[in-house]
Amino acid sequence: MTATDTFNSDGSRAAGAGLEQTGHGYAERPVEGGTEWFNCLWKSTSTHQSGDAPQRIIPDLCADFIVDSTGKSWLVGPATTADLVTITPGATLWGIRINPPALRSILGTEAESVQDSKIAFGDVLPSRTSRILADALRQERVDTPLLESLWPGLRIDTVALQGFVALTNSPNIRIHEIASDLGVSARHFRRTLSNSVGLSPKMIQKVQRMQNVLTLGRRENTSLATLAARTGYADQAHLSRDVQALAGITPTRLLRDHG
């Protein structure tokens, strides 16, 4: 997802950091009733006076179902690179963020197939599910009973769920150590994570380290070398390489634009 797109036509996941500074409002709320399948519901709005400069949406491990005020609906898959998005003035978007380990179960297909993709609801969901979910998102009427009716009996793979938690909690841990703790081979673990989340274990760790830099950078005004050391990079150069590959910008600009 590297091309510049029109936000309310082709879309990408919304991001709070940066949007509110340019005339775009963003708010999240939990799914009423609670669910382990989805992380939150969100809404993004822009004023008619908003500028049309592209916004950089960086990888965050998640996928989102999104609808807009023109009637379009799409899935944004998990990203490995930044997406430059032009947000149309006056646009409103509603989304639901998928818990990464649940992606394969929700789609009914290997999650890698939607990596770095934007796909219409009708191409990834049954027609009834697509219609009901799109209408409920626009009307802000998504809750747990509705989701359970759309995905009855949904289960998240235990290895994927526990492995994802381990990777994001300790993004420098060795893959074989997690696999051993879960009682599976490293090969099985890598395949399960890639199929379930849409990202390899190594990519999950890279994205999580970058997100940890942002989290720490928002809390503390400290040097890049210190941020690198405290978030698991070998050195500042390692931090710079990873951020450039994932976000397409320097760590300094990442912290300025998204911190």
Taking only the tens place, the pLDDT of each residue in 104-114 is 999 999 999 99
Q: Are 196 and 111 in contact (CB under 8 A)?
A: yes
Q: Residues with Cβ < 8 Å from 82, sequence gap 6 or more?
A: 1, 2, 56, 57, 58, 59, 246, 247, 248, 249
Instruction: Choose between 54 and 210: higher pLDDT.
Output: 210
pLDDT for 152 equals: 96
pLDDT for the residue numbered 87: 72
Would you put residue 140 in left (φ > 0), alpha (ψ -120 to 50) or beta? Answer: left
Confidence tier at 25 by pLDDT (50, 70, 90): confident
Percentage of the chain exceeding pLDDT 70: 88
Tokens of 65: 């179902």
Q: What is the pLDDT of residue 48?
A: 61
Which of 22-36, 74-88, 198-212 has the least mean pLDDT? Answer: 22-36
Alpha helices in 85-157 (DSSP H): 103-107, 121-124, 127-138, 144-150
pLDDT, position 50: 54
The amino acid that residue 213 corresponds to is V
- CB count, 10 Å around CB of 118? 18
pLDDT at 51: 54
The pLDDT of residue 19 is 42
Each residue of 175-191: pLDDT tens digit?
999 999 999 999 999 99
pLDDT value, residue 131: 98
- Residue 132 scores a pLDDT above 50: yes
Q: What is the mean pLDDT of residues 237-258?
A: 96
Cα–Cα distance, 180 to 158 (Å, whole number): 14
Tokens of 238: 């390692």
CB of 188 within 8 A of CB of 179?
Answer: yes
> 122-150 burial, b if ≥16 CB within 10 A, otherwise e?
eebbeeebbebbbebbbeeebeeebbeeb
How deeply is 229 buried, as exposed, middle or buried, from its count of CB atoms within 10 A (0-12, 13-18, 19+)? Answer: middle
> Which comes out higher in pLDDT, residue 236 or 53?
236
User: How does residue 24 score in pLDDT terms, banded at 50, 70 and 90?
Assistant: low
Q: What is the DSSP letter of 81?
A: S
HSE-up (13 A, CA, CB side) for residue 74: 21
228, pLDDT greater than 70: yes
Determine which of 5-19, 20-34, 145-159, 241-255 has the lowest per-residue pLDDT on average: 5-19
Residue 196 confidence (pLDDT) above 50? yes
Across the chain, what does the average pLDDT equal? 89
pLDDT category of residue 49 using cuts at 50, 70 and 90? low
pLDDT digits over 51-90, tens only?
Answer: 566 789 999 999 999 999 988 999 999 999 999 887 777 8
Segment 156-174 mean pLDDT = 96
